[in-house]
Amino acid sequence: MFRTNQTALFVFIAIIAVLLTPAADVYASDLVVEKPWARASIGVSRPTAVYLTIRNGGAVTDVLTMVTTPAAGMAEVHKSEVKDGLARMSPAGNVEVSAGTTAILEPGGLHIMLMELKNPLKKGETISMTLHFENAGPVDVAVPVYGIAASGPKFSD
């Protein structure tokens, strides 16, 4: 009887401990990276782009601060925009994803630019990439490579 109570107490404490686990784990599971894809490259001297969406289902804003990939020497979030009739592209810095919102990286807007490619990105391949978030920490993403003329994944929804 005494033992059973002790076990019950232990289980109870364990449950409380799990519930009180540092919030980072929770944030990680609340951040969902979806629909990733990369544009095939022409050789290694030309840069190419990766697109995806980041859905923040949590209660706290998270920030994408850095992108790393073994496929490229440099990966950076850029923004394409038309200003005074000119299309231009510049580093976008950190990407804030407020609670309950989705950051969309899509052609003609935000993209992760891959520079100094190690190998040409060929259609059909998959590259690995790590998105580094302020709260969620590193999130690994497998990015399929589509053709140069692709405009995005074909969705069923």
Partner 1 sequence: MNGAVRQLIVYIAGGLGLVAITLFIGWWQVDGPGRAIDPYSVASQSLPLPFYEMNFQLTDHSGRTHPKDWIGRPTLVFFGFTYCPDVCPTTLSNISGWLEELGDKTSPIQAVFITVDPERDTVQVMADYVSNFHTAITGYSGSAGQTLKAAESFRVTYKRVTVDESYTMNHSASVFVYNANGEFVTTIDQHEPPGVAVQKIRRVL
Q: Which residues of this protein are in contact with partner 1, per CB under 8 A?
A: 39, 42, 46-49, 78, 80, 82, 85-89, 107-108, 111, 113-114, 147-151
Look-up: residue for tokens 């979030």? 77
Q: What CA–CA distances, in Å, run from 144 to 31, 80, 124, 131?
A: 20, 22, 7, 15
Contact positions with Cu ion (CB under 5 A) in 3-22: none
Bridge partners (DSSP) listed for residue 95: 64
- In angstroms, what is the minimal distance from the CB of 82 to partner 1? 5
Among the listed ranges 10-18, 34-42, 66-74, 88-96, the one in contact with Cu ion (CB under 5 A) is 88-96
Q: Are 126 and 138 spatial neighbours (Cβ–Cβ below 8 Å)?
A: no
Is residue 89 within the footprint of Cu ion (CB under 5 A)?
Answer: yes
| Residue (24 or 118) nearer to partner 1, CB | 118
9 touches which of Cu ion, partner 1, none (CB within 5 to 8 A by kind)?
A: none
How many chain residues bind Cu ion (CB under 5 A)? 3
| Residue (89 or 148) nearer to Cu ion, CB | 89
Beta strands in 47-157 (DSSP E): 48-56, 62-68, 72-83, 86-91, 95-97, 102-105, 110-117, 126-133, 137-146
- In angstroms, what is the minimal distance from the CB of 91 to Cu ion? 8
d(CA 148, CA 155): 18
- In angstroms, what is the minimal distance from the CB of 75 to Cu ion? 10
